[in-house]
């Protein structure tokens, strides 16, 4: 089975060692027997989750988390190239920094999402008005927003109001320093969920996408 503990552990060690060649060798060998999405769900995602847990416990460096995500992002692009049916079947995601210029958090989340088989659009830095316009124009169903400063985090309340006025029922997932300092802030600004780290954001997105799919299935 692709997700056997030994393979996940070996893949995790390759990521911690920042060894893309060994990581690719392990996935290539396993891909002869299983579907690409199974590798993502049973090997890549668990290995990233384990590295994230190590970072939370001080057993891995942030650089290892970041590089592990980038390696996995590259490998998933080979397993599931952009435009492949497995990616297109997923609801539309976008990620942006709202009126801040600190991109590390956004890039970590984007890499982790792509490494987990999602295909988020990266909008970089954006204002409230730009986000509303792009959500409408590109049919976004889940929008992830990263902020560093409290004034930017508070702008999400204005974003939610404008999205509502425009009749855009997009799900908002927020993260960043202000939401770590105040665990209830995400509710106050009208977000649907808050992720404390990249891997938590993935679990939140998976849950929200199930909700979106259930909504689509209703007559």
Please check the confidence at residue 88 and state whether its pLDDT lies above 70: no
pLDDT tens per residue, range 18-67: 999 999 999 999 888 787 878 888 888 888 888 888 887 889 988 888 88
Q: What is the CATH number of the domain that holds 134?
A: 3.40.50.280
Residue 21 makes CB contacts below 8 A (sequence gap 6+) with none
pLDDT over 90 (residue 172): yes
Task: Please indicate, yes or no, whether residues 98 and 205 belong to a single structural domain of this protein.
Answer: yes
Q: 204-213 pLDDT, tens per residue?
A: 888 887 776 6
> Above 90 in pLDDT, residue 123?
yes
pLDDT band at 87 (very low <50, low <70, confident <90, very high): low
The answer to whether residues 29 and 6 touch, using CB atoms and an 8 Å cutoff, is no
Residue 17 structural domain: 5-85
- The per-residue pLDDT for 101 is 75
Buried-state track 190-199, b at ≥16 Cβ within 10 A, e below 16: bbbbbbebbb
User: pLDDT-derived band of residue 214, with 50, 70 and 90 as boundaries?
Assistant: low
Q: Encoding tokens for residue 31?
A: 């891909």
Mark whether 116 and 173 lie in a shared domain: yes
Four-point Cα dihedral 196, 69, 150, 163, nearest 10: -90
Same domain (yes/no): 69, 109 = no
Residues 63 and 149 in one domain: no
- Give tens-digit pLDDT for 129-151: 999 999 999 999 999 999 888 99
Which pLDDT score, from 0 to 100, does residue 37 have?
77
Which residues fall within 8 angstroms of residue 92, CB to CB, at 6 or more apart?
121, 138, 139, 140, 141, 142
| The domain boundary residue, chosen from 85, 119, 154 | 85
Short-list 111, 161, 121, CA closest to 141? 121
pTM for the full model?
Answer: 0.74
Give the residue-averaged pLDDT of 171-189: 92
For residue 82, count other CB atoms closer than 10 A to its CB. 10
Q: Is the pLDDT of residue 188 over 90?
A: yes
In this predicted model, what pLDDT tens digit does every residue of 102-117 receive, in sequence order? 777 888 888 888 877 7
């Amino acid at each position: 089975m692709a997700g056997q503990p030994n393979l996940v552990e070996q893949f995790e060690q390759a990521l911690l060692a920042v060894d893309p060649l060994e990581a690719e060798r392990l996935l290539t060998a396993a891909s002869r027997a299983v579907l690409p999405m199974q590798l993502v769900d049973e090997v890549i995602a668990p290995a990233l989750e384990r590295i994230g847990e190590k970072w939370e416990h001080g057993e891995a460096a942030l650089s290892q988390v970041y590089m592990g995500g980038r390696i996995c992002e590259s490998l998933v692009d080979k397993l599931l190239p952009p435009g492949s049916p497995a990616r297109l079947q997923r609801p539309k995601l976008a990620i942006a920094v709202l009126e801040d210029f600190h991109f590390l958090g956004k890039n970590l989340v984007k890499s982790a999402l792509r490494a987990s088989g999602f295909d988020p659009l990266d909008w970089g830095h954006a204002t409230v008005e730009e986000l509303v316009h792009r959500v409408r124009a590109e049919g976004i169903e889940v929008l992830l927003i990263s902020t560093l400063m409290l004034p930017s985090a508070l702008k999400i309340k204005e974003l939610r109001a404008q999205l509502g006025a425009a009749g855009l029922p997009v799900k908002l997932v927020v993260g960043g320093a202000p939401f770590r300092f105040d665990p209830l802030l995400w509710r106050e600004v009208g977000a649907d969920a808050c992720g404390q780290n990249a891997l938590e954001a993935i679990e939140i997105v998976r849950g929200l996408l199930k909700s979106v799919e259930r909504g689509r299935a209703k007559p």
